Structure 1
Amino acid sequence: MNSLNKTFLPSSKYETRNWFIIDCKNQKLGRLSTLIVALLKGKIKPHYYPSTDIGDYIILLNADAIIVNKNSKHYIVNNPGRVGSALTIKNAVDSLPKFTIERAIKGMLSTTETKRLMRRLNIYSGETHPHEAQNPIKLDLNNLSFDNKKVI
């Protein structure tokens, strides 16, 4: 049998999930969300395969300090089209930064992956989080690059 014709499929021994801490302070929403999606899917791992789930857990700190494009307006409309009720419109960027981050990440995921992968994303507006027991790895976003595989 020729060994060149075999496809590598990662088994359960490759399913070691890491916990990462990312500080959102002075980070742009779009660039940060592409990194988060790659970590959630496990695309930075050398044994990545699309049909297997080998993604990691992510803790986002200081979600209030994320940089969002102020020229584009994001609104949340409650009770649209309901007869007899007043419409309430909120500016999503100013009032709900957690919702804005989740919406950006959900837009980059497929519908089949969204529910499963969003469970691994934890967003906090302050510096504290309850996940110290998992020994999370702090990522320095200034030194990351996907081109040279220098992520971890």
Structure 2
Amino acid sequence: MNTLSYKTISANKETVKKEWVVVDATDQVLGRLGSKVAKLLRGKYKPNFTPHVDCGDNVIIINADKVKLTGKKWTERVYLRYTGYPGGQREMTPARLMSRPNGADKLVRKVVKGMLPKNRLADQLLGHLYIYAGSEHKHEAQQPKVIDINLYK
């Protein structure tokens, strides 16, 4: 008789406990910040992580305009997109993207989106990401807790 019986617990929409967290992006390297935020959005730091369920937290990033890029990545990294027309390949550097309106939001969102899976769940997870260039946000009613992103792997 087997006395040790373990059951794999799979989270679903009703059993997931979502929290609100605030991440300060001041002097954080953009790629490392993006990968940790993507893990928070997916819920990979939680013990009941289930790959096909939205079990992550709602993440608020403040001071997104103060992120860092190492080396010459501000001017030499190139993000490509395609308009759909012949000859429609466009390129953008992070420096040009940051100089545009809502540039910090677009840059951080682009980095985090690239680190999420390429499926319908990723679109749903990106809806739980809120990015602000300054130190103020409008989600005080949710009582978010401030976390230090450097404590996560």
Instruction: State the distance in 2 between where 1:34 and 1:44 align.
Output: 12
1:18-49 Cα shifts (integer Å, max 9, x gaps): 00101111000111111101100001111112
Cα pair distance change 1:126/1:77, threshold 3 Å: same
Identity of aligned residues (%): 32
**Residue 137 (structure 1) shift:** 0.7
- RMSD across aligned positions (CA): 2.8
Cα separation, 1, equivalents of 2:86 and 2:13: 49
Question: Normalising by structure 1, what TM-score?
Answer: 0.78
Q: Which runs of 4+ in 1 moved over 4 A?
A: 75-83, 87-90
Alpha carbons of structure 1 residues 107 and 19: separation in structure 2 relative to 1, 3 Å: same
TM-score if structure 2 supplies the norm length? Answer: 0.77
Q: How many residue pairs get matched?
A: 143
The residue type paired with residue 73 of structure 1 is R
Question: Which range moves more in the overlay, 67-76 or 29-38?
Answer: 67-76
Match of 2:58 in 1: 57
Unmatched tracts of structure 2, length 5 or more: none
Secondary structure at 1:59 match in 2: strand
Partner of 2:133: 125
Instruction: Identify the residue that residue 116 of structure 1 maps to in structure 2.
Output: 124
Residue in structure 2 matched with residue 150 of structure 1 by the alignment: none
| Deviation (angstroms), 1:92 | 3.5
Specify every segment of 5 or more residues in structure 1 that has no aligned partner in the other structure, as ranges: 147-152
